[in-house]
Amino acid sequence: MASERLDKIIANYTSITRTQARKLIVGGKVTVDGVVMKKPEAKTDPECAVIKTEDTTINAKRHLYIMMNKPAGVISASRDNNATTVIDLLPEHLQRKNLFPAGRLDKDTEGLLIITDDGEFAHRLLSPKSKVNKVYIARVDNTLTENEIKLFADGVQLKDGTKCLPAKMTLLSDTVAEVQIYEGKYHQIKRMFAAVGFQVLSLQRIRIGQLSLPDNLSKSQVRELKIEEIELLCENDR
């Protein structure tokens, strides 16, 4: 990566403005490779230098790919004036402009969520043409049977007349099922169950493509994806 102005680097790879970046630099709160820098116009290569603003190291990767175990009660949005968003949960070193959730989970739905600033990647992940599968664990209000398995496999018709693609249901107990779908309609899992006479009491996404939610990633926790994990996201098992 070519050398850039220090104030521009900080503004590009954090959530603060360029004006705020200049104030930090002039105030002696920015170091490059351990040396205090006080000139906003000073140039450096963000990929080669270690740039810190007070106690935070700048993450100057071109794009970020973040895995989150989304908790209930948080909305899948970049910003909201009245509610906590998934972006609000990110630690400071992963805060950056233009981050957004690649696909949404309902406010009360938990589990695997991908956050990125790579629009092309998100499009590949979400496009119906890609047919990237998503796997959920659903707990419902009544006893499930082989009949529901067949209805899902045939393709459920929602109450508004929309026909869903065939989905795979595996019973984990009388009232808990694993459901695998290949599309992402609005509130799709809940609407599919509603169409066959069930109410979803809790819902968790555990897999996208061949990338599963790690057991050691607690609710609200995040981490950057590894290269091989990014590749798994765009794979399906059809």
Can you tell me the distance from the alpha carbon of 167 to that of 196, in angstroms, rounded to the nearest whole number? 13
DSSP-assigned letters across all residues of 117-143: S-HHHHHHHH-GGG---EEEEEEESS-
Nearest to 148 by CA among 108, 186, 200: 200
Task: Please calculate the CA angle 31-35-38 and round it to the nearest 5 degrees.
Answer: 65
Which residue is catalytic, options 33, 106, 141, 215? 106
Is 106 an active-site residue? yes
Q: How far apart are the C-alpha atoms of 160 and 68, rounded to whole Å?
A: 32
Could you give the CA distance from residue 119 to residue 116 in angstroms, rounded to a whole number?
8
**Residue 223 token pair:** 């981490």
Are the C-beta atoms of 114 and 208 separated by less than 8 Å?
yes
Distance CA 210, CA 151 (A): 25
Beta strand 211-212 with 30-32: parallel, antiparallel or unpaired? unpaired
Catalytic residues: 106
